[in-house]
Structure 1
Amino acid sequence: MSKIDYLASGFIEPLKTYVQELDLPAAELLGEMRQELESPNVSAQRFCQLLESVWQLDPVDALGVRLGLSVQPRHFGVLGYMVSSCGTLGQALARYHRYHALLQGGLVSRAWLRDGVLYMRWTQAVANTPLASEFSLAGFVSLCQTLIGRPVTPLRAGLPFPRPRDGSVYQVLLGCPVDFDRSAIELAIPAHLLALSISSKDPYLLRLLEQQAQALLEQAPRLEGGHMGAFFSRVQEQIVESMKNGDVSAESVAQALGCPLRTFYRQLRTAGYSYRGLLAHTRHTLARQYLADPALAQTDVALLLGYSEQSSFIRAFRSWTGTTPGAYRAGLARKGKDASGRDHGE
């Protein structure tokens, strides 16, 4: 595992709960998990180490599956909230596929429909140990089950490691035949499940979360690949998270990431960024996304971007674009009229 990748730290929560419920002797490990949970992301290598530590405490068969089956949408971070806001499972899985880079940079997935079956295959560049692969497969099954509020019985599953001594436990836990020694993690489910509705659907929240996700993905390629690309993504995600409580200071973001402030500044300089410039760039990108949504009031946009005063947002937006948020939104409305063939005088 020489590459560096990150995933949502929420995936540590099922591990922590498992250790606590079994009352395993792991006070130090629990402390390490709590510390990792303070950041929105955890390195894939570190997550694999935590999985291995739990297995050392309780070396049961298919431990990764057992842990993954307790995963909830909230553990997937912003992607989990997004898919929970979709109308159907099909819509949720389409967005999962589109935005999975926000969940784990090294995740490569493919899905296709054939003869009434949805087939899925995915690989994880760094989180690719047997335990992590089991966890990923079972976590995805659990996500689908939670979204539609009923059990999902897969038709077949596959895992990229040799068949263990007792492979039958995997079939018992997942409820379907499981193949081993595959080239990727595999899952097949009945296609009719895609039409089932999600009770927590929220079109307004979905639109908002999708705007955030799209804006972040559009910026990601600038530093894609390597350690600095991963660090850049973590900082950006933490900035968006910190906007919720209005504290987007470098000190607050660095602390949330568990990074000393001097190291934080140095890594940003190495990537060619200043923190102030990155914060402004992220706010500017999200502001344009939010202002394009007529359902959002300008005061809502200011709050979403972490401004306590609307006047501060107006000044900042003018410095980025040379115009006010209101004028920018009016310009978008005029373009919309032009696109629909209407005359400005109508």
Structure 2
Amino acid sequence: MSDTSPKHLAAIARDFAEQLIAQGFSEGDIFSGTGLRKADIAEPEALAPIAALARIFDQGAKLSGDDLIGMRWGFNRRFVQLGLVGYLGRSSHSVKNLVINVARYRRVFSEPIDFDLSELDTKGAFSWSYNLPPRIDLGRMVEAQTAQLIGGLRVVTPRKLVPKFIEFEHRRVQRIADVQHLLGCPVSFGHKANRIGFHLTDLDMPLRTADAGLQKVLQRHCDLVLASRPKDRPDIQVKVEKAIVDRISQGQASVEAVASDLGMSARTLSRRLGSAGTTYQTLLANLRRALAERYLSDHTLSQSEIAYMLGYSDVSSFASAFKRWTGTSPGEMRQTLH
């Protein structure tokens, strides 16, 4: 089945795959389940479905047995390896200017990404998230991207840059101390968005690679790229799924409650979903199934914890629903995901 998730710059996953191949892993194993081949993303500015790119990082962790392999690799990757947006970042005159440039030209390298710079001037913090269904897990790829940002900044700034904190949207329960050691600051997981906080004085640090003339040329190029791209389109299904996730573990994910969160009536929400070819109950069931399979692959979670996270009153209710969806029990599925 082809991956229809929004597209993202493929360079980071392509280069990570090349690193894995150099370590002796086969291209077939690395790209297994992604629907991609290395040749499909060979062009420097190639875009590919973001969910497929994230799976390459998941495969790398699985094949190597190192859950942090992507993050370790990211620290050694430089901005120039990111193509157009990387050169734009390097040519920025300060750390703050780099962040602003990346946020401004985000659509050059990613269709689903969004930035929030509202705290940049006052708290030295910025956040980013992806307009994707919650069932798509980008965790390991986002960790690698974050490591690349911090590692890359340390190469182009006059002194070592250490963030005040980093928050990740995805969930992690293992090796958090190792992640904090690698990133050099307090790190936490399970937030509304990914977020990095810098000391305000660090944002003003100049970049050794700053080039005002080159930056203007690259900005004009980025403007041309953006002009050729289709405009953003709101995805009601993604918005509904995200609203469901915010409420599901409390057992309050009714269509009325979710519609209210989105600023509309239940009737209007049902009509908009109908126009998109689906229903609220279909989205809820499909989301629960996708999240159940993801949670079952995490062997630190008990079935009772998973049942709670999916809004079921007990394990038996969850198990019955899961059997209805898949024809197998949660325990049997967990064995296949080991």
TM-score, length-scaled by structure 1: 0.57
Distance 1:212 1:135 in 2: 27
TM superposition shift of 1:90: 2.0
Distance 2:121 2:49 in 1: 38
Q: Which runs of 5+ in 2 are unaligned?
A: 32-36, 236-338
Q: Which runs of 5+ in 1 are unaligned?
A: 228-346
Q: How does 1:215-294 map to 2 (within 5 A)?
A: 215-221=224-230, 223-225=231-233
Distance 1:29 1:36 in 2: 16
Distance 1:29 1:40 in 2: 24
TM superposition shift of 1:140: 2.4
Residue matched to 1:187:
196
Q: 1:206 to 1:39 in 2, by over 3 A?
A: closer
Q: How does 1:1-346 map to 2 (within 5 A)?
A: 4-20=5-21, 23-28=23-28, 32-33=37-38, 35-38=40-43, 40-41=45-46, 42-113=48-119, 117-126=123-132, 128-148=137-157, 150-221=159-230, 223-225=231-233
TM superposition shift of 1:8: 1.9
36-45 vs 153-162, greater mean Cα deviation: 36-45
Distance 1:167 1:137 in 2: 15
Distance 2:120 2:218 in 1: 31
Q: Which amino acid aligns with 1:185?
A: N
Distance 2:76 2:30 in 1: 18
Retained in 2: the 8 A contact 1:5–1:44? Answer: yes
TM superposition shift of 1:18: 3.3
Instruction: Name which one, 1 or 2, has greater alpha-carbon Rg.
Output: 1
Task: Give the SS at the match of 1:157.
Answer: strand
Q: 1:74 to 1:29 in 2, by over 3 A?
A: farther
Task: Give the SS at the match of 1:193.
Answer: helix
TM superposition shift of 1:115: 8.7
Query: Deviation per CA, 1:72-128, whole angstroms, max 9, x where unpaired?
Result: 212332111112112222222211111111111100111244797411111123474
Q: 1:120 to 1:226 in 2, by over 3 A?
A: closer
Please tell me the root mean square deviation across aligned C-alpha atoms, in Å: 2.9
Distance 1:106 1:114 in 2: 21
Query: Deviation per CA, 1:241-288, whole angstroms, max 9, x where unpaired?
Result: xxxxxxxxxxxxxxxxxxxxxxxxxxxxxxxxxxxxxxxxxxxxxxxx
TM superposition shift of 1:20: 4.4
TM superposition shift of 1:33: 2.9
Retained in 2: the 8 A contact 1:160–1:180? Answer: yes
TM superposition shift of 1:170: 0.8
